[in-house]
Amino acid sequence: MDWEPKILVFCCNWCSYAGADLAGIARLQMPTNFRMIKVMCSGRVDPEFILSAFSKGADGVLVSGCHLADCHYIGGNYRTRRRIALLKILIEQYGLNPKRLRLEWISAAEGQKFAQVIREFTEEIKALGPSPFKKKSALAVVEASPTVAKVSTAVAEASPGT
């Protein structure tokens, strides 16, 4: 099976989520590699979430909020901007390409931009290849959780042909 990237998108409730909704309503074409998590404000995105997503095998993480000075909560996105800038440095030290973390400002009216960003980012992540954490984390999950290991052996036993 060809490798398909897994991209996690954090969207703020007021701008980017509505922008994504608009992209959907307008039936804009975009890759289906992303999963979206809604938060009230991009400022809610704890750095821990992003690091956790990467450690669990996300190939890319996109954080999207309202345009600067347009935040529904006055200035949450300024905090986000600072955090993401620092996180990019941090993930590089962990051996990840900082391009795997992306910050975008997408307003509720910018369905086109949302689709464009998703297309671009997916292409970029595809070019970068699978996250170096991917295989390791998948193994770690199997080792750490006996139920998963049991299920996979059970599946392997049940279908000797594969």
Partner 1 sequence: MRTYGFKEVYYEKAREAGVMFIRYEEFDRPELIRQDGELKVSLRDPVLRDQLIIDTDLLILSVATVPEPNNANLAQMLKVPLNSDKFFLEAHVKLRPVDFATEGVFVAGLAHSPKFIAEAIAQAKAAAGRASTIISKKAIEAEGIIAAVNEDICDGCGICKPICEYKAIEIVATEEDKKKAEINEALCKGCGACVGACPSGAMEQKGFKDNQLMALIDAALEETTALSI
Taking the C-alpha atoms of residue 9 and residue 115, their distance in angstroms, rounded to an integer, is: 12
Identify the burial level of 106 via C-beta atoms within 10 angstroms of its C-beta, where 0-12 means exposed, 13-18 middle and 19 or more buried: buried
Is residue 135 near partner 1 by the rule CB under 8 A? Answer: no
Is residue 6 near partner 1 by the rule CB under 8 A? Answer: yes
Is residue 43 near partner 1 by the rule CB under 8 A? Answer: yes
Helix, strand, coil tally for the chain in percent (to 5): 50, 15, 35
**69 CB neighbour count, 10 Å cutoff:** 9
Taking the C-alpha atoms of residue 19 and residue 32, their distance in angstroms, rounded to an integer, is: 16
Is residue 139 near partner 1 by the rule CB under 8 A? Answer: no
Is residue 32 near partner 1 by the rule CB under 8 A? Answer: no
Is residue 58 near partner 1 by the rule CB under 8 A? Answer: yes
Point out which span in 21-29, 34-42, 89-97, 107-115 binds partner 1 (CB under 8 A): 34-42
Which residue from 3, 24, 37, 94 is in contact with partner 1, where contact means CB under 8 A? Answer: 37
Is residue 88 near partner 1 by the rule CB under 8 A? Answer: no
Is residue 145 near partner 1 by the rule CB under 8 A? Answer: no
> Could you tell me the CA-to-CA distances from 117 to 9, 10, 76, 112, 121 in Å, in that order?
11, 13, 21, 9, 6
Applying CB under 8 A, the residues found at the interface with partner 1 are: 6, 8, 35, 37, 39-41, 43-49, 52-53, 56-58, 72-76, 79, 83, 138, 141, 148, 151-152, 155, 159, 162
